[in-house]
Amino acid sequence: MSTPHIPRHWAHWPPQVPRHLDIPATHLFHNAEASAARHPDKPLFIFYGALTTHGRFKADCEHLAGHLQQVCGVKRGDRVLLYMQNSPQFAIAYYAILRADAVVVPVNPMNLGEELRHCIEDAGAQVICAAQDLMPQVLPLLHEGQEQGLKHAVVAAYSDHLPPDTDLRVPDFVRAPAQAFDEPGVVTWREALAAQRQPTAIQAGPDDLAVLPYTSGTTNHPKGCMHTHRSVMVNTVARPVWMGSLPDSVQLAVLPFFHVTGMQNAMNGTIYQGATAVILPRWDRDVALACIQRFRVTGAQLISTMVVDMLSHPDIDSFDLSSIVSIGGGGAAMPEAIAAKLKALTGLDYIEGYGMSETMAATHINPLQRPKRQCLGIPIFDVDARVVDPLTFTEMPPNEVGEIVVHGPQVMRGYWRNPQADAEAFIELDGKRFLRTGDLARVDEDGYFFMVDRLKRMVNASGFKVWPSEVEALMYAHPAIQEVCVIGVSDPRRGETVKALVVLRATHRGQVSEADIVAWAHEHMAAYKSPRIVEFVDHLPKSGTGKILWRELQQQARNAAPH
């Protein structure tokens, strides 16, 4: 009788943690209902010192859901855009959309006009919940279409959730008082909640669509990743179990909620556990350190650039960080020297993980008792992850480089209305459906995964994925640009940054500068994807079929970079 194959990484599985998880087969809003019933007066969110309890959170979600249904006409399965920075209102809008049996479409608040228009048109959304500082991007798109297009907006002022006074540094856009709007279809947050409309009974179930995050790809336009209540629930439950997190934990919620890492770990996981999150709309190391000390933060998800910035604080030793029991993140590898400095300061290892929008956050996390540095970790509960030859899909032996493919309960159903993208993204192995990640890695003799390179053309800037083809498509709107090729170049702070090699039209040579193009790009696309460097060139190398040889330009940049 043959012995069943035992995965190598099981030898390093966290003790007292099961290898299989039974995931609740429920609507995600049930998590908010359960926590409100168990802990009605317990703080769910702390926002510059102001508290939102679990009980108030549930009530606000229901009142906003009633408005979405009765005023905006939102029905089961409708897509509703969510366009805000981290705030209590983001979470309330997210769960109100779910409570209305609709689908949350989280949009990066750095996205500008054309990027926002694509999400509206592709998702077929007619309703948006947006922050007032982002309304200049929204208003031109309201009532643009006769039948389709954006018809309703609920506008939030972050200051509605601020305490009367705080000694913490609050950004101006958060402190700004609530504005009035008289455009048709636009209602303020206060008005929407004050009516206290009640939603109809929940009709959706675990296999209905819940969240549609957009991820850029090798094509010019971002694609929606179809996630059900069931697939979102997987990592909502999995990470707290893996990390040994308890209902009394306090998470520092600074990674953006629109992105799956912050959404799952700091928001959905906290609501599910009945725990507490300290919300920051954007990174500020002084405020972050003060909050860790003041609110006894126990866990923090931080990308490597945030940790670098925090540890370089001149008074870092004066802060009491003793409450922290876990710190980790992903997106970009943590430099060895910084990990060592963090360990010396806090006694903690930086726990790295790996996931993507298509998997609603993690498929791999390092085990707490035996993490490896600059390592993606090991496959978590019920995940079958392999490194395969990108052409034949045969599994590679230990320490041989191949493409990561993953099968697991958190993998998306597919791309929204894009069967061609599905055909390219999924393969079948041993009777199971695997997602191709496009990431090249190796698996060591212990079963730990290590990133090596990318199969797909992508720039990783401070953990944000930037797809050059999308940036190029946006840049071609500039009248002076004849041709453009976007590549990634090394950057001491961001890891990589975006560079554009530009061939100007003859009519514009000498009329615009490289700095002009940089400034224009910054105005027309999200800041993280906007080229920081523009170089004018006379021509771009091309193949025999006329395709720009971006790999050649990328390699030239790598060769020129200091080691």
Separate counts of helices (H) and strands (E) for the chain: 17, 28
pLDDT of residue 458: 79
Q: Does domain 463-560 have CATH number 3.40.190.10?
A: no
Angle between helices 304-311 and 285-294 (to 10 degrees): 80
Count of other CB atoms within 10 angstroms of residue 20: 7
Instruction: Calculate what percentage of the chain has a pLDDT beyond 70.
Output: 96
Distance CA 42, CA 20 (A): 31
Tokens in use for 409?
């309960």
pLDDT in tens, 98-142: 999 999 999 999 899 889 999 999 999 999 999 999 999 999 999
Residue (of 44, 154, 47, 143) closest to 102 by Cα position: 154
Tokens in use for 246?
């308890």
Residue type, 399: N
pLDDT of residue 215: 87
Strands 250-253 and 276-279: parallel
Overall size of the chain counted in residues: 563
pLDDT of 457 over the 80 cut: no
- Tell me the Ramachandran region of residue 272: left when phi exceeds 0, alpha when psi lies from -120 to 50, beta otherwise: alpha
Instruction: Calculate what percentage of the chain has a pLDDT beyond 90.
Output: 80
Mean pLDDT of 422-446: 96
Give the range with max mean pLDDT: 336-350, 420-434, 477-491.
420-434
Look at domain 382-454 and name its CATH class. Answer: mainly beta
pLDDT of 254 over the 90 cut: yes
How sure is the predictor about 2, in pLDDT bands with cuts at 50, 70 and 90?
very low
Percentages helix, strand, coil for the chain, rounded to the nearest 5? 35, 25, 40
pLDDT of residue 272: 98
pLDDT of 477 over the 80 cut: yes
pLDDT of residue 3: 47
pLDDT of residue 1: 43
pLDDT in tens, 201-236: 999 999 999 999 998 654 558 899 999 999 999 999
pLDDT in tens, 372-396: 999 999 999 999 999 999 989 999 9
440 or 209, higher pLDDT: 209
3-class DSSP state of 12: helix
> Can 29-365 and 463-560 be said to share one CATH topology?
no
pLDDT of residue 246: 93
Angle between helices 88-99 and 29-38 (to 10 degrees): 120
pLDDT of residue 146: 66
3-class DSSP state of 306: helix
Yes or no: say if 107 and 94 are a contact pair by the CB < 8 Å rule.
Answer: no
pLDDT of residue 547: 67
For residues 128, 131, 135, 137, the Cα torsion angle rounded to the nearest 10 degrees is -80
Distance CA 429, CA 407 (A): 10
**Average pLDDT, rounded, for the chain:** 93
Distance CA 76, CA 477 (A): 37
pLDDT in tens, 265-287: 999 999 999 999 999 999 999 99
How do the domains of the chain map onto residue ranges?
29-365, 382-454, 463-560
pLDDT of residue 544: 64
pLDDT of residue 501: 96
Beta-bridge partner residues of 279: 253
pLDDT of residue 4: 58
Distance CA 363, CA 340 (A): 25
Look at domain 29-365 and name its CATH class. Answer: alpha beta
Distance between the two ends of the chain, CA-based, in angstroms?
54
Residue type, 84: M
Give the range with max mean pLDDT: 45-54, 311-320, 444-453, 460-469.
45-54
Residue (of 265, 262, 298) closest to 283 by Cα position: 262
pLDDT of residue 554: 87
Distance CA 302, CA 328 (A): 6
pLDDT of 306 over the 50 cut: yes
pLDDT in tens, 492-503: 888 889 999 999
Which H or E element spans position 282? none
Residue (of 94, 270, 86, 273) closest to 161 by Cα position: 86
pLDDT of residue 141: 96
